[in-house]
Structure 1
Amino acid sequence: MQLIDPNHPAYRRLWVRIAIVAVCFSWATVEIIGGDPFWAVISASAGAYAYYMLFWTFNPQPTAEPDADDDEEPAEPAAEKPSKDGQVD
Structure 2
Amino acid sequence: MKEKDLLFFQPLWRRIAVTLFCALWAGWEWLSGQHLWGIIITGVTLYCYWTLFHTFEPAKPDAEKRD
TM-score w.r.t. length of structure 2: 0.78
Is the CA contact 2:22–2:41 (under 8 Å) kept in the aligned structure 1?
yes
Is the CA contact 2:10–2:59 (under 8 Å) kept in the aligned structure 1?
no
State the one-letter code of the partner of 1:36. Answer: Q
Other-structure match for 2:53: 55
Structure 1 spans left out of the alignment, 5+ residues: 65-89
Cα RMSD of the aligned pairs, angstroms, is 2.0
Identity %: 31
In structure 2, C-alpha distance between the alignment counterparts of 1:63 and 1:8, rounded to whole Å? 15
Higher helix share: 2
TM-superposed deviation, 1:35? 0.3
Instruction: Pick the aligned partner of 1:29 from 13, 27, 41.
Output: 27
| RCO comparison, higher one (Cα < 8 Å, 6+) | 2
Per-residue CA deviations over 1:3-37 (Å, capped at 9, x if unaligned) read: x4476211010000001100111001000111011
Question: Larger C-alpha radius of gyration, 1 or 2?
Answer: 1
Corresponding residue pairs, total: 61
Per-residue CA deviations over 1:52-76 (Å, capped at 9, x if unaligned) read: 0000011134486xxxxxxxxxxxx
Structure 2 counterparts to residues 6-85 of structure 1, below 5 A: 8-62=6-60
Structure 2 spans left out of the alignment, 5+ residues: 63-67
TM-score w.r.t. length of structure 1: 0.60
State the one-letter code of the partner of 2:29. Answer: E
